[in-house]
Amino acid sequence: MSAEMPDLQSLWMPFTANRQFKAAPRLLVSAKGMYYTDADGHRILDGTAGLWCCNAGHGREEIIEAVHTQMRALDYAPPFQMGHPLAFEAARRLAALMPAGLDRIFFTNSGSESVDTALKIALAYHRARGEGQRMRFIGRERGYHGVGFGGMSVGGIGTNRKAYAGNLMPGVDHLPATLNIAEAAFTRGQPAWGAHLADDLERLLALHDPSTVAGVIVEPMAGSAGVIVPPVGYLERLRELCTRHGIALIFDEVITAFGRLGAATAAQRFGVTPDLLTMAKGVNNAAIPMGAVAVSREIHDTIMAAGPGNAIELFHGYTYSGHPAAAAAAVATLDLYEKEGLFARAARLEPVFESAVHGLRGAPHVKDIRNIGMAAAIELEPRPGQPGARAYEAFLACLKAGVLVRFTGDILAFSPPLIIDEEQIGTLFSVVETALHSVD
Average pLDDT over residues 375-397: 97
Average pLDDT over residues 269-297: 98
Mean pLDDT across the chain: 97
Average pLDDT over residues 173-187: 98
For residue 4, is it within any domain? no
Task: Give the containing element (helix H, strand E) for 136.
Answer: strand 136-140
Q: Quote the percentage of the chain above a pLDDT of 90.
A: 99
pTM above 0.95, yes or no: yes
Helix (H, G, I), strand (E, B) or coil at 310: coil
pLDDT of residue 71: 98
d(CA 159, CA 330) in angstroms, rounded, equals 33
318 plus 410 within the same structural domain: no
Task: Give the containing element (helix H, strand E) for 44.
Answer: strand 43-46
For residue 296, is it within any domain? yes
Q: Residue by residue, what is the 3-state secondary structure of 138-207?
A: EEECCCCCCCCHHHHHHCCCHHHHHHHHHHCCCCEEEECCCCCHHHHCCCECCCCCCHHHHHHHHHHHHH
Helix %, strand %, coil % of the chain (to 5): 40, 15, 40
Note whether 64 and 72 are within 8 A (CB).
Answer: no
What CATH number does the domain containing 76 carry?
3.40.640.10
For residue 1, is it within any domain? no
332 plus 348 within the same structural domain: no
The predicted-structure confidence for 16-56, as pLDDT tens digits, reads as follows: 999 999 999 999 999 999 999 999 999 999 999 999 999 99
Task: Give the containing element (helix H, strand E) for 375.
Answer: strand 375-380
Q: Which amino acid is at 276?
A: L
**Last residue in a domain, options 340, 364, 396:** 340
Average pLDDT over residues 405-427: 98
138 plus 49 within the same structural domain: no
For residue 156, is it within any domain? yes
Average pLDDT over residues 242-260: 98
pLDDT of residue 39: 96
* pLDDT band, residue 2 (cuts 50/70/90): low
pLDDT of residue 5: 86
Number of domains the chain contains: 2
For residue 11, is it within any domain? no
For residue 261, is it within any domain? yes
Axis-axis angle for helices 324-340, 342-358 (nearest 10): 70
Range of the domain at 55: 18-59+341-438
Task: Report how far apart, in Å, the C-alpha atoms of 81 and of each of 84, 105, 377 are.
Answer: 11, 17, 45
* pLDDT band, residue 3 (cuts 50/70/90): low
**Last residue in a domain, options 340, 367, 384:** 340
268 plus 396 within the same structural domain: no
**Last residue in a domain, options 313, 340, 367:** 340
333 plus 375 within the same structural domain: no
* pLDDT band, residue 1 (cuts 50/70/90): very low
407 plus 328 within the same structural domain: no
324 plus 175 within the same structural domain: yes
What CATH number does the domain containing 45 carry?
3.90.1150.10
232 plus 364 within the same structural domain: no
77 plus 26 within the same structural domain: no
Q: Looking at the predicted structure, is the pLDDT value of residue 296 above 90?
A: yes
d(CA 269, CA 354) in angstroms, rounded, equals 17
331 plus 359 within the same structural domain: no
178 plus 326 within the same structural domain: yes
For residue 12, is it within any domain? no
135 plus 34 within the same structural domain: no
The predicted-structure confidence for 298-327, as pLDDT tens digits, reads as follows: 999 999 999 899 999 999 999 999 999 999
For residue 254, is it within any domain? yes
Of residues 2 and 55, more confidence is placed in 55
d(CA 213, CA 229) in angstroms, rounded, equals 25
